[in-house]
Amino acid sequence: MFAGPIIAREVKVLPQSYRFFVLRAIYAAMLFVLMWTAWQSQIGWRNILEIGLLSRFGQFLYKLFAYTELTLMLFFAPLAAATNIAHEKDRRTFILLLMTDLGDVEIIVGKLVISLVKVATMLATSAPVFFVCLLLGGNSGRQLVEVLAVMMAAGLLGGSIGLLVGLSRDRTFQSVALTVLVVVIWLAAAEGLAFLAPGARVAGFAVGEALQPYRTLTSVLASGGAIESGWPGLTFLAASGLLTIILNLISIKMLRIWNPGRNEPREQREGAGDAEILVEESEVEEPAPAALATTGTLVEEGVGFVVDSHATVTRAALTDAGSATSLNNREGDSEQMLEQASTGLHVPRRTHRRIVKAVGTYRVPWDNPIIWREIRTRAYGTRPLVIKGAYLAIVALLIAYFLNNPNAPGSLAWTLIPASVLGLLLVNAQGVTALTSERDTGALDLLLVTELTPKQFIYGKLFGVLYNAKEMVVAPLAIAIWFAVIRKLSIETTVYFLIDYALLCHFSAMLGLHAALTYTNSRVAIANSLGTIFFLMVGILICATLIILSDREFGRQLLSFLIFIGAGSVALFGSLGAKNPSNAIALVALNTPFWSFYCIISLLRGDISAAFLFSAGVYGFALMAMLVPAVSEFDIALGRTSAIQG
């Protein structure tokens, strides 16, 4: 096939899965349910007697579909590309791909295309639903084509960002979290540039519309498809196309520079060590035993050595006086010991400056070694610091927005809600990848043969995730306390928010662990986990928007919202309990969308205490519904047969 073997395989294999067709049908059905909900919200059961009412509704529906579709595109396209690369790195298959005779261009283009196949399919599925809006009036076919082109360009640019981040990162959490943050920073920076310099133009194009897809979409929808208004989307199409080419060229250039050896487990230099001695070795080549490359440790007559990942043995004795004489005197015995431990395969080494770590003292783990590893060691390396720094930079931008617009309508919400939603997404990503990465690397199998109890494992992972994502947990709480100090929020509202957000952080982390325990395929687990949180947040925002736009006339839209809630319940049960069903999960799927809708109504009516009580109750029950089976049925969930065999 002219497109290359990677794309050819995906095109042949993807349609063989029934899930490919089911997802398209469900997505189209959800759009029609959203259409019915919008109709009830704007018109209800009354007869249409006004001239132009249908065309006005067609314009409203078209905008609702367009903004929702663009949001989904900007979320799923980058994550699909990033997780595709991260999944192969964790399974050690990406290095095999680099060993084939495929060119760099074939690999990059192939990975980008197959990552966006499902996303493009969803966009193609929604196109007929968009065409229904043309029958209502208020829109033109030219406008529809332009909107779909903007969405496709945004998806390609987002996929290129995810691919670049996935290639440059070693860990799944780093790839997923950094991809989300880069997309948010891109949108925030473009919006800030457009706000600070609204008249700025480059080569005759407005900078704001050239970099911000939401502004471009707003301009396209405002034009109404009139010929005299031109093609507002061309600016974004040109800029996004250029950026897509640049990002892919960088990926092609850095493909084999970033990746050889980068996807291997962390080197032993990140392990424990109390003393480091830097030794200058002579310029000779000597064989290093393969057995030492595996263990990395040699203990001889009370003298301990820890060597680096290249498995070289240095000529230094770790004596109290720091002299190298004692080791030289025992050189013959050491070499004989190493030869006996070797498998007979010798790897030549080129000596240079090496680091030797003394192991005379060592750290004692806690009673729960899982939580000790998560908290007291660099379990996820040092690179997650970049993710935390990017998140705090976004929080700083939100605070700067509030300081510049302290009295603007919705300034509190536009500061606190984005920081909270982004924090929940990152906590969830940390939770699901904490297990999927260990399963893909085979480390989870080693844990299963230890004497760890289910409580130690689950609670250790849960609180370890919250500790490693503490910046995402603390930042929204600190913003809420600051708002209370400057009297922008009442004490009651602040206390309710602190409790609710802390509970939602536990819920998000446990949801990630639940998905990782339920689905053995890492990409499926990550998609279900992040998709559940994302659709839950988007569903709440859409419901709140429709209620506000309908002037809060709940009676005429109750039936449509019940249909919307029912569809959400089915989708939630499919995500949480399709493989491990239980009565508790069924109750969670049934009650969570309904009571979330009730909480939205309570907030809009000003009944904050009711919203707090019901949200804490429903999400607390959802947390326990996932936590209790994970602890009590741990063996069955992870494939251990001891519980089944008795």
pLDDT tens readout for residues 480-524: 999 999 999 999 999 999 999 999 999 999 999 999 988 888 888
| Mean local confidence (pLDDT), 612-624 | 93
Highest-confidence segment of 39-53, 212-226, 592-606: 592-606
pLDDT of amino acid 299:
40
**Is the pLDDT score of 460 beyond 60?**
yes
Q: In DSSP terms, which residues pair with 346 in a beta bridge?
A: 289
Q: Which residue has the tokens 């193609």?
A: 124
**In which element (H, E) is residue 536 found?**
helix 522-549
Q: What percent of the chain has pLDDT over 90?
A: 25
pLDDT of amino acid 520:
83
**Is the pLDDT score of 294 beyond 80?**
no
Selection from 561, 562, 529, 556 nearest residue 542 by Cα: 561
What tokens appear for 285 in the block? 């080549």
Indicate the pairing of strand 303-306 with strand 201-202.
Answer: unpaired
Helices 53-90, 411-441: crossing angle, 10 deg rounding:
30
Q: What percent of the chain has pLDDT over 70?
A: 75
The mean pLDDT value of the chain amounts to 77
d(CA 108, CA 99): 14
DSSP state of 282: P
**List of residues 6+ apart from 276 with CB closer than 8 A:** 355, 356, 357, 358
Highest-confidence segment of 25-29, 66-70, 285-289: 66-70
pLDDT of amino acid 327:
39
- Indicate the pTM of the whole model: 0.76
Whether the CB-CB separation of 513 and 435 falls below 8 Å is answered with yes
Highest-confidence segment of 333-342, 343-352, 457-466, 570-579: 457-466
| Mean local confidence (pLDDT), 132-159 | 87
Highest-confidence segment of 206-215, 270-279, 413-422, 557-566: 413-422
pLDDT of amino acid 423:
94
| Confidence label for 428 from pLDDT (cuts 50, 70 and 90) | very high
**Maximum alpha-carbon separation in the chain:** 103
| Mean local confidence (pLDDT), 234-256 | 91
Selection from 113, 116, 119, 150 nearest residue 27 by Cα: 119
pLDDT of amino acid 15:
73
| Confidence label for 226 from pLDDT (cuts 50, 70 and 90) | low
d(CA 149, CA 123): 10
The torsion region of residue 44 among left (phi > 0), alpha (psi -120 to 50) and beta comes to left
